[in-house]
Amino acid sequence: MSSIVFILGYNYDSNCYLINDNILVDTGAGHNKDYLFSKLRENGVEPEDIELVVNTHCHFDHIGGNHFFPDAKVAVHKFDAISIKNEDTLGTSMSAFEGVDNSRVDIELEEGDKIADFEVIHTPGHTKGGICLWDGESIISGDTIFAGGGVGRMDIGGDYNDMKNSVRRLTELDVKNIYPGHGPIVENNGKEHIRMSYSLL
């Protein structure tokens, strides 16, 4: 099982997750480089050790720090890669491209792709190309679901029916731990929180 280190989002930043000391899931809004780097170093990881950045979706608060890792490959679902490559400020919900190069996508992910011990699950709803990462026990859920029955907003490139279908799919998994894009993590009773999310849709 891959190791997962939780880096709590600071200010506008999303939460970030360090996997196996060389993969970073989401990079925040790009405003708090010192904070993010200090958290990596607290875990014995230098920024240049990151070989792969995985974005759970294309919104600015998740991709804004991608340029902090110029030597890492950037992976995002193929549908959200369109907004990033086109520097689409509407699709990314706010500009993540002012004076920096965040438009690079090296790997366009699809349903079923593997990242370390995780499988990519395509979970549109918050964006067209939202993903979760699932390892059979824990799910890194981006802005699809949150602790306490929350789901991501659907008014910026999202879709209610897609979200309902995505969360329904997640209810079928035996999820123990949830590592969401914002807010606290859930340990041990993740399935209950996913059921709550579905019941509120």
Distance CA 4, CA 19 (A): 5
* pLDDT tens digit sequence for 178-189: 999 999 999 999
Q: Which residue, among 21, 20, 29, 17, has the nearest Cα to 131 in the 3D structure?
A: 17
Superfamily for 4-199?
Ribonuclease Z/Hydroxyacylglutathione hydrolase-like (3.60.15.10)
Distance CA 99, CA 177 (A): 37
State phi, psi for 38 to the nearest 5 degrees.
-65, -35
- Predicted local distance difference test score (pLDDT) of residue 22: 98
State phi, psi for 101 to the nearest 5 degrees.
-100, 95
Share of the chain above pLDDT 90, in %: 92
Which residues of the chain are under the pLDDT cut of 70?
none
State phi, psi for 62 to the nearest 5 degrees.
-115, -25
Distance CA 71, CA 52 (A): 9
Domain ranges of the chain: 4-199
- Predicted local distance difference test score (pLDDT) of residue 112: 98
DSSP, collapsed to helix, strand or coil, labels residue 168 as helix
- Which residue type is seen at 85? K
- β-pair partners for 77: 109
Q: Which two tokens stand for residue 141?
A: 């859920």
